[in-house]
């Protein structure tokens, strides 16, 4: 038996003012999207904004349902809208943020596993990495340059061809 270590890399920005202008614009679009979320069951409002390589910005927010699993996270609402509208354009950057009615979110949002897998699919589909900016209402902003840093050992299409 061998124990191995895996290294992930991420950046932290202390405040909005440390972000480059295009990233701040995207984060602000995600914040506006969070305001329009439909989250009557969790009261947890998530907003996502992604910039495509063609320059378009697509936003999404969580859409809940009384039959809970029928709802969808903000990231996937945005990613699938982008896939539906601009199937040939890769995603350059996605910004995700959240707020709650019950408490102040002082940590960057940590995307759920299903959304990480959806981001991974779009990296593989367009053979390009996706920058991911994660923020809460307050506090640091975290950034990774690829989903590999959020989803090590991800399930890949090659696995289907093995054997």
Distance (Å, whole) CA 66 – CA 116? 24
75: annotated active-site residue = yes
CA–CA dist 62, 53 (Å, integer):
24
Query: What is the residue whose two structure tokens read 């999207």?
Result: 33
Q: Helix/strand/coil (H, E, C) string of 20-32?
A: CHHHHHHHHHHHH
Our CB check for ligand THU shows the closer of 54 and 155 to be 155
> Smallest gap, in angstroms, from Cβ of residue 58 to ligand THU?
15
Choosing from 12, 75, 145, 158, which is the catalytic residue? Answer: 75
Shortest approach of ligand THU to residue 161 CB, angstroms?
29
Residues that bind ligand THU (CB under 6 A): 39, 42, 44, 46, 62, 64, 71, 73-75, 111-112, 115
Closer to ligand THU by CB, 113 or 152: give it.
113
Can you tell me which residue has the tokens 């009615």?
Answer: 101
To the nearest whole angstrom, how small is the minimum distance from the Cβ of residue 44 to ligand THU? 4
Under 8 Å between Cβ of 147 and 123: yes
Catalytic residues: 75
């Amino acid at each position: 038996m061998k124990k191995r270590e895996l290294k992930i890399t991420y950046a932290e920005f202390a405040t909005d003012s440390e972000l480059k202008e295009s990233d701040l614009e995207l984060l602000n679009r995600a914040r506006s999207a969070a305001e329009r979320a439909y989250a009557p069951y969790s009261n947890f409002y998530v907003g996502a904004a992604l910039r495509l390589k063609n320059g378009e910005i697509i936003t999404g927010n969580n859409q809940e349902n009384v039959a809970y699993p029928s709802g969808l996270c903000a990231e996937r609402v945005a990613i699938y809208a982008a896939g539906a509208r601009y199937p040939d354009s890769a995603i350059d950057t996605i910004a995700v943020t959240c707020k709650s009615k019950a408490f102040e979110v002082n940590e960057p949002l940590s995307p759920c596993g299903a959304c990480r897998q959806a981001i991974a699919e779009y990296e593989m589909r367009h053979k390009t990495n996706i920058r991911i900016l994660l923020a809460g209402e307050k506090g640091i902003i975290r950034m990774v340059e690829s989903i590999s840093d959020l989803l090590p050992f991800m399930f890949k299409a090659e696995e289907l061809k093995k054997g």
